[in-house]
Amino acid sequence: MQLTVLGKYGPFPKEGGATSSYLLQANGKNILLDLGAGSFARLCRCIKPEDIDVIILSHFHLDHTSDIGVLIYYYQILFAKGHTKKPIVFCPEEGGPLAETVINCPYFNVNLVRGGEISMVDDIDLDFFEMRHPVPCVGVKISCEGKVLAYTGDTNVCDCLEDVFDGSDTVLADGAFLMRDWEISKPHLSVEHIVGFTNKYGNKSIISHINPKYTEEELQKAISGLGDRCLIAQEGKTYKI
């Protein structure tokens, strides 16, 4: 498995950046994890959008889904020319008008999911978790080729985070805050929380959903001492899982 970071920021990008979106390639399948602002053009540099096999939308906040409408426009033109392949979409049921648009899109095969459900696409196992966010949000563990990638989506501290980290080779994690700015009432984890989970379970973490107000120096200081076991996501970079 390999993971390419298309966008790493939230809730808005730094100049020239994009918000949360990631392309996982596993067992010959192209799996898109969210499609935030500015990520569609970056996706097109990696693959043709018609080659997407699976789309997992963690939730319907716009910094994770704003370019899904652009993708629908793209598919509208493709299908008018005779294209028939529909990506399989996994998403929560609730999410306002955008959720309704995605769920009713004629170019997607939509599966509504919630925490505790398990699905399979060919030889790829998908294990979903209910995360802690102001709107319904699912995390997912993706198992394939003897490896496990977990994606937290957006979340603050919750019981299922232990299950997300436990047994995962790599965790793509929400690290929107530094601990100095974090509170239990906020909708995201801190970088330092992820460091703690990484130390506890001994896996590798890629920290994303980066608040654009933080400098690279501040972020690197928060993960110092962990070497390549805890990384700040870099846009355009591909990571081997």
pLDDT for 226: 78
Amino acid at 5: V
Q: What is the edge-to-edge ordering of all strands in the sheet holding 230-232?
A: 118-121, 124-130, 138-144, 147-151, 170-174, 204-208, 230-232
Where does 40-169 show beta strands of DSSP type E? 54-56, 88-91, 109-112, 118-121, 124-130, 138-144, 147-151
Ramachandran area for residue 57 (φ above 0: left; ψ -120 to 50: alpha; else beta): beta
Domains of the chain and any CATH numbers: 2-233 (3.60.15.10)
Model pLDDT for residues 48-107, shown as the tens digit of each residue: 999 999 999 999 999 999 999 999 999 999 999 999 999 999 999 999 999 999 999 999
pLDDT for 16: 96
Per-residue pLDDT averaged across 149-163, rounded?
97
Half-sphere exposure of 181 (CA within 13 A, CB side): 15
pLDDT band for position 224 (cuts 50, 70, 90): confident
Q: What residues contact residue 185 under an 8 Å CB cut-off, 6+ apart?
A: none
pLDDT for 225: 78
d(CA 11, CA 61): 9
Task: Please state the pTM of the whole predicted model.
Answer: 0.96
Q: What residues contact residue 217 under an 8 Å CB cut-off, 6+ apart?
A: none
Per-residue pLDDT averaged across 204-218, rounded?
97
Whose CA is closest to 45, among 9, 6, 86, 18?
6
